[in-house]
């Protein structure tokens, strides 16, 4: 499939899943502190405290991770996710490939809905090359 075909397919899936009621559940965002650097899409974020939001109710396919000091911001394309069980606390989950961590998804405490980042080319390549992968989660505050 051509790159254009893949893009059209992804946008179609995003439009389909955008009907899920996510924006109201994200509310004012989720605050979390990462004691390690991590990637959000193509952007490397240093360790620190961040706010994850969906800034535009009309575009549920975008999430923004912004440092609390305002120095670092990254936007990512997301898909809504749904789980069978609601987590007791809000969580931000990272995938670690080798020594590199990537923002992977966020789960909202008490809800079965969440968001998942669409992996970039670099993340997919890191996943293929990694001999060991692991998942790390951080408790988030707010929603």
Q: What is the CA radius of gyration of the chain?
A: 15
Q: Given this model, what pLDDT does residue 132 score?
A: 81
Please provide the DSSP assignment of 103-140 as one string. EEEEE-TT-SEEEEEPPPHHHHHHHHH-S-EEEEEEE-
Does the structure show a pLDDT above 90 at 125? yes
pLDDT digits (tens, 9 = 90+) for 35-82: 999 999 999 999 999 999 987 766 678 999 999 999 999 999 999 988
Enter the tokens of residue 28: 């004012």
pLDDT bracket for residue 142 (50, 70, 90): confident
């Amino acid at each position: 499939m051509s790159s254009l075909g893949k893009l059209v397919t992804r946008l179609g899936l995003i439009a389909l899943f955008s009907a899920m009621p996510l924006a109201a559940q994200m509310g004012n965002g989720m605050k979390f502190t990462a004691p390690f650097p991590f990637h959000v899409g193509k952007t490397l974020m240093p360790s620190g405290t961040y706010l994850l939001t969906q800034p535009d109710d009309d575009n549920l396919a975008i999430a923004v991770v912004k440092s609390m000091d305002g120095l670092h911001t990254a936007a990512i394309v997301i898909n809504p996710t749904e789980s069978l069980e609601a987590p007791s606390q809000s969580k931000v989950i990272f995938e670690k490939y080798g020594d590199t961590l990537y923002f992977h998804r966020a789960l909202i405490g008490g809800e079965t809905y969440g968001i998942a980042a669409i992996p970039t080319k670099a993340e997919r390549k890191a996943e293929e090359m990694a001999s060991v992968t692991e998942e790390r989660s951080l408790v988030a505050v707010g929603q």
